[in-house]
Structure 1
Amino acid sequence: MRLTKPYRHMAIPPSDYGDGFAARSGKRHLLTALALLAPIFTGVPQALAQQANQPGFDPRQPEKYFENQTERESQSRPPIKLPKIDRPSTGGDAKLQFVLRGISVIGAHAVSRERIAAVYQPYLAKKVSQADLAAISGAISDLYREAGFHLSRAIVPPQDIVDGRVRIQVIEGAIVQAELKGDGVEQFGVRPMLGPVLAEQPSRLATLERQLFLINGRPGVRITDTALEEIGGTTGRFRLIVYLKTWHIFSSFALDNLGSSSVGPWQTYATGAFNSYLAPGDALAVNLSTIANDLRELGFARLSYDAPVGVDGVRLGASVLYSAVRPGDARRLDSDITTTEAFEVRASTVPFLSQSSGLTLTVAGSFSNVSEHDIYGPWYNDHIRTASLTADYRLQDRFGGTNLVTLNYRQGLDVFGASHFGDDLISRNGASSNFSVLNLWFTRYQTLNSAWSLKLSAASQTASRPLFTSQQFYLGGAAFGRGYGCAEISGDNALAGSLELRFDQKLNFRYWTGYQLYVFGDAGAVWNDGYRLSDGLSLTSTGAGVRFFLPYDLQADLGVAVPLSYRAPDNERRSPRFLFTLSSAFRVCPERGRPRCL
Structure 2
Amino acid sequence: MTARCGGRGPRETAICPRTGQQVLLWVVLLVASASVMNAQAQMLPSTPLPPVIDPTGRSGTPPPLQKEEPVPPQPPPLVPPPAPPPPEKPRAPLLRVFVREIRIIGNTVFSAEELAAVTAPYVNRELTSEDFESLRQALTLYYVNHGYVTSGAVIPDQTVTEGIITIQIIEGKLSRIDIEGTTHFWPSYLRDRIALSAGPPVNIKVLQERLQLLQQDPRLARINAELQPGVVRGEAELHVKVAETSPYKAWVEFNNFQTPVVGAERGLGTVSHQNLTGHGDPFSFTYGRSEGVNPLIDTSYSIPFTPYDTTLSASYRRNDFLVVEAPFNTLNISSQSEIFGLSLLQPVYRTLNHQVNFSVTGERLFNKTILPGFPNFNLIPGSQNDAAVVSALRFIPEWLYRTPSTVFAVRSRFSVGLNVLGATINPGFVNGVQVPDGRFFAWLGQVQAVQRLDRLWGLQVLGRYDVQLASDSLFPVEQFPVGGRFSVRGYRENTLVRDNAMVATVEARLPMLRSAQTEDLLQIAAFLDYGNAWNNGNDPVTPSREFLASAGLGLRANFLPQNRGYFEVYWGNRLNHITNPRNDLQDYGIHLQLVVQVL
Q: If the length of structure 2 is used for normalisation, what is the TM-score?
A: 0.72
Amino acid at match of 2:442: V
Paired residue for 1:405? Answer: 410
Q: Secondary structure at the match of 2:262?
A: coil
Q: 1:227 maps to what in 2? A: 225
For 1:536 and 1:124, how far apart are their aligned partners in 2?
A: 79
CA contact (8 A) 2:100 2:164 kept: yes
Check the 8 A contact 1:2/1:537 in 2, yes or no: no
- SS in structure 1 at match of 2:258: coil
In structure 2, give the amino acid aligned to 1:336.
I
What is the match of residue 274 of structure 1?
Answer: 273
> CA, structure 1 residues 574+318, in 2 after alignment: closer, same or farther (shift >3 Å)?
closer
1:143-154 to 2 correspondences below 5 Å: 144-145=146-147, 151=149
Specify the alignment match of 1:553 in structure 2: 563
Q: Check the 8 A contact 2:215/2:223 in 1, yes or no.
A: no
Q: Does 1:475 align with 2:482?
A: yes
Matches within 5 A, 1:5-84: 5-7=48-50, 55=52, 57-62=53-58, 65=61, 68=64, 75=69, 78-81=72-75, 83-84=77-78
Cα 1:111–1:509 change in 2 (3 A) is closer
1:392 and 2:398 correspond: yes
| Cα distance in 1 for residues equivalent to 2:379 and 2:538 | 25
Find out whether 1:332 has 2:337 as its counterpart: no
Q: How far is 1:556 from its partner?
A: 2.6
How many angstroms apart in 1 are the aligned matches of 2:356 and 2:561? 32
* Structure 2 CA distance for partners of 1:584 and 1:211, relative to 1, 3 Å: farther
Shift in CA distance, 507/298, structure 1 to aligned 2, threshold 3 Å: same
What is aligned with 1:430?
Answer: 435
Measure the CA separation in 2 of the matches of 1:63 and 1:217: 29
CA distance in 1, matches of 2:454, 2:122: 46
Using a 3 Å threshold, how does the CA distance of structure 1 residues 232 and 387 change in structure 2: closer, same or farther? closer
Amino acid paired to 1:341: E
Q: Which residue of 1 aligns with 2:502?
A: 495
Instruction: Choose 382-391 or 281-290, whichever is displaced more.
Output: 281-290
1:61 is paired with a residue of what secondary structure?
A: coil
The code of the aligned residue for 1:448 comes to: L
Structure 2 counterpart of 1:288: 287
Ranges of 4+ aligned residues in structure 1 off by more than 6 Å: 86-89, 98-102, 125-130, 132-135, 162-169, 571-575
Residue 222 of structure 1, CA deviation: 2.2
SS at match of 2:142: helix
Displacement of 1:209 after TM fit? 7.0
Q: Which residue of 2 aligns with 1:379?
A: 379
Deviation sequence 1:10-64 (CA, Å, 0-9, x none): xxxxxxxxxxxxxxxxxxxxxxxxxxxxxxxxxxxxxxxxxxxxx2x32223487
Aligned pairs (5 A) from 1:545-584: 545-549=554-558, 550-570=560-580, 577-584=589-596
Cα deviation per residue 1:394-416 (whole Å; 9 max; x = unaligned)?
1247x953321111111111123
The alpha-carbon distance between structure 1 residues 474 and 209, as it changes in their structure 2 partners (threshold 3 A), is: farther
Counterpart check, 1:342 vs 2:327: no
Counterpart-to-counterpart distance in 2, 1:166 and 1:434 = 73
Q: Which amino acid aligns with 1:385?
A: S
The count of aligned residue pairs is 516
The residue aligned with 1:317 is 313
1:444 aligns with 2:440: no
Unpaired segments of 5 or more residues in structure 1?
9-54, 93-97, 588-598
**One-letter code of the match for 2:286?**
N
Report the Cα distance in structure 2 between the residues aligned to 1:327 and 1:396, rounded to whole angstroms: 43
Shift of 1:133: 7.0
Deviates most, 435-444 or 449-458: 449-458
1:461 equivalent in structure 2? 468
Distance verdict in 2 for CA 1:82–1:480, change over 3 Å: farther
Name the CA distance, whole Å, in 2 between partners of 1:411 and 1:228.
50
Amino acid at match of 1:342: I
| Aligned amino acid, residue 349 of structure 2 | F
Residue 516 of structure 2 aligns to a residue whose secondary structure is strand
Contact 1:261 1:570 in 2 (8 A): no
Deviation at 1:458, TM superposition (A): 1.1
Cross-structure match for 2:250: 251
Query: CA RMSD of the aligned region, Å?
Result: 4.5
In structure 1, the partner of 2:419 is 414
Counterpart in the other structure of 1:42: none
1:545-595 per-position Cα deviation (integer Å, ceiling 9, x unaligned): 3322222532433344333422233378998633322223344xxxxxxxx
What residue in structure 2 maps to residue 201 of structure 1? 200
Alpha-carbon distance in structure 2 between the residues aligned to 1:390 and 1:459 = 15
> Does the C-alpha gap of structure 1 residues 432 and 186 become closer, same or farther in structure 2, counting only changes over 3 Å?
closer
SS at match of 2:491: coil
Distance 1:236 1:327 in 2: 70
Cα pair 2:442 2:469 within 8 Å, conserved: yes
Give the equivalent residue in structure 1 for 2:359. 362
- 1:260 Cα deviation (Å)? 3.0
Q: In the aligned structure 1, how far is the partner of 2:355 from the partner of 2:297?
A: 31
**Partners of 1:105 and 1:405 in 2: CA distance:** 48
The 1:391/1:373 distance shift into structure 2, 3 A limit, reads same
Query: SS at 1:438's partner residue?
Result: strand
Check if 1:506 corresponds to 2:514: yes
Cα shift at 1:288: 1.6
- State the SS of the aligned residue for 1:500: strand
Q: Distance in 2 between matches of 1:101 and 1:287?
A: 76
Aligned counterpart, 2:94: none
Query: Paired residue for 2:533, among 523, 526, 536?
Result: 526
Q: Is the 8 A contact 2:580 2:587 kept in 1?
A: no
Q: Distance in 2 between matches of 1:177 and 1:506?
A: 45
Partner Cα separation in structure 2 for residue 273 and residue 119 of structure 1: 57
**Structure 2 unaligned regions, length at least 5:** 1-43, 87-96, 381-386
Q: What SS class does the counterpart of residue 59 from structure 1 fall into?
A: coil
Change in Cα spacing, 1:194 to 1:562, as seen in structure 2 (3 Å) is closer
Q: Distance in 2 between matches of 1:363 and 1:137?
A: 48
Between the aligned residues of both structures, percent identity stands at 18
1:243-291 per-residue CA deviation (whole Å, 9 max, x = no partner) reads 2314342222222233333233322232212344457333332122222
Residues 243/392 of structure 1: CA separation in 2 closer, same or farther (3 Å cut):
same
What code does the residue aligned with 2:547 have?
A: S
For 1:310, give the aligned amino acid.
T
SS in 2 for 1:114: helix
Q: Distance in 1 between matches of 2:125 and 2:45?
A: 85
Contact 1:552 1:586 in 2 (8 A): no
Matched residue SS, 1:262 = helix
Instruction: Supply the AA of the counterpart residue of 1:556.
Output: Y
- Equivalent of residue 141 in structure 1, options 124, 143, 146: 143
CA distance in 2 between counterparts of 1:99 and 1:516 reads: 75
Assess, with a 3 A threshold, how the Cα gap between structure 1 residues 78 and 443 changes in structure 2: closer, same or farther. same
